[in-house]
Amino acid sequence: MRLLCTLSLLACALLAACRTAQPPALPTSAPTVFGVVSGTSQERVSYVARVLDELAPQIPLVVPGCDTRPIDVRLVAEMAHSNWRGATFSMRSERWMELPEAEGNERLAATMAHELVHYLLGSEWSTLPGVLEEGLCDKVAHTLVPGAGPLERAEYAVILGTALDGSYRFDAQRVIGKGKAAHFGPEMMTYTVRAPIDRDTMPTFEEALRLDSRDLEPNRIKELRVVLDALGYLIVSRIGVHDLHQLCRRAHLQNLTRVPPLWLLEAAGLERADRDGWRIAVDGLFGDAERRALLLRDGLQFQDGR
Ligand SMILES: [Zn+2]
């Protein structure tokens, strides 16, 4: 028995450096050991301040080469773009992070961990390609907020599988019920899941590693962005944070502006990978926890019949 379903496009947290951006003025704030959190609700600001004090000191423990700088978190009613989960803005000497004030607690913590990596990365990481920076931020977020990992990894596998083959196929038990009542029955099924991306406009994975995510054309960025985020996550997962740091330092010592794609592919064990090799790498993201998270989550739309 087969079931076809469609994955909605992921919201992604971006490193934004907009020339006209200003830190939003907000009525209330709470100082923390690591900076300040501002927003409209004192209760929410105080809660997020505690989350910041819990997460900020952990970033340098898992990411070598971090800078020490005070962190300015602004809790906003709406992000500048509806598909952003969070953003870190850098304007000359000014830097601040925006997060949606009404975000659920686990999502907020995972997004803050992701943005803290953008915020604190030091100059040793300057040769890291933009595509990989997003993957690094996601990897650290999943390390510090493990509950956020399985669904995002599952979505990345579906996105990369769709980019490779037009869809991602896997076997799992049949899902019975919907929403919070959803559970697995005994019957095994083959699921075919598609992310809504246009493969005709996609670069190859090797080409994508040469792109800087901040230089992409705005009209292509949304769709391409989810593939780049997924690709960055896969490559960072296979290389590991510390070995990736060493590659960045090596590129810096050789006066390169960016780590060459071939170094990245070699370190990820994918330099000679054909389509099957990439498929095996993508499957490596998708274990039992990811299968369960994808199938039992609220909102996965099964659009076609069996
Ligand atoms: Zn980001």
Per-residue burial over 102-136, b if 16 or more Cβ lie within 10 Å, else e, is ebeeebbbbbbbbbbbbbbbeebbebbbbbbbbbb
How many A from CA of 112 to the centre of ligand 1? 10
Q: Per-residue pLDDT tens for 252-279?
A: 999 999 999 999 999 999 988 889 999 9
Domain ranges of the chain: 2-10+144-302, 14-123
How many A from CA of 51 to the centre of ligand 1? 18
How many A from CA of 45 to the centre of ligand 1? 22
Q: Three-state SS for 169? A: strand
Q: Per-residue pLDDT tens for 167-202?
A: 999 999 988 887 778 888 999 999 999 888 888 878
Given 2.60.40, 3.10.620, 3.30.2010, 3.40.50, which CATH number is that of 14-123?
3.30.2010
How many A from CA of 83 to the centre of ligand 1? 12
How many A from CA of 36 to the centre of ligand 1? 20
User: Looking at residue 212, what is its pLDDT?
Assistant: 65
How many A from CA of 215 to the centre of ligand 1? 15
Alpha helices in the chain (DSSP H): 42-55, 59-62, 105-120, 130-144, 149-165, 205-209, 218-239, 241-253, 261-267, 275-283, 288-296
Q: Per-residue pLDDT tens for 11-69?
A: 444 444 444 578 899 999 999 999 999 999 999 999 999 999 999 999 999 999 999 99
How many A from CA of 111 to the centre of ligand 1? 9
Phi, psi of 7 (to 5 degrees): -95, 135
Phi, psi of 170 (to 5 degrees): -155, 160
How many A from CA of 12 to the centre of ligand 1? 7
Which residues neighbour ligand 1 (ion) by CB within 5 Å? 13, 134, 137
What lies within 8 Å, CB to CB, of 176 at 6+ separation is 182, 183, 184, 185
What lies within 8 Å, CB to CB, of 32 at 6+ separation is 49, 50, 52, 53, 71
What does the block give as tokens for 140?
């650290």
How many A from CA of 217 to the centre of ligand 1? 17
Round to whole Å and give the CA distance between 196 and 88.
27
Mean pLDDT on 161-166: 93
Say what percent of the chain tops pLDDT 70: 87
How many A from CA of 137 to the centre of ligand 1? 6
Round to whole Å and give the CA distance between 240 and 139.
9
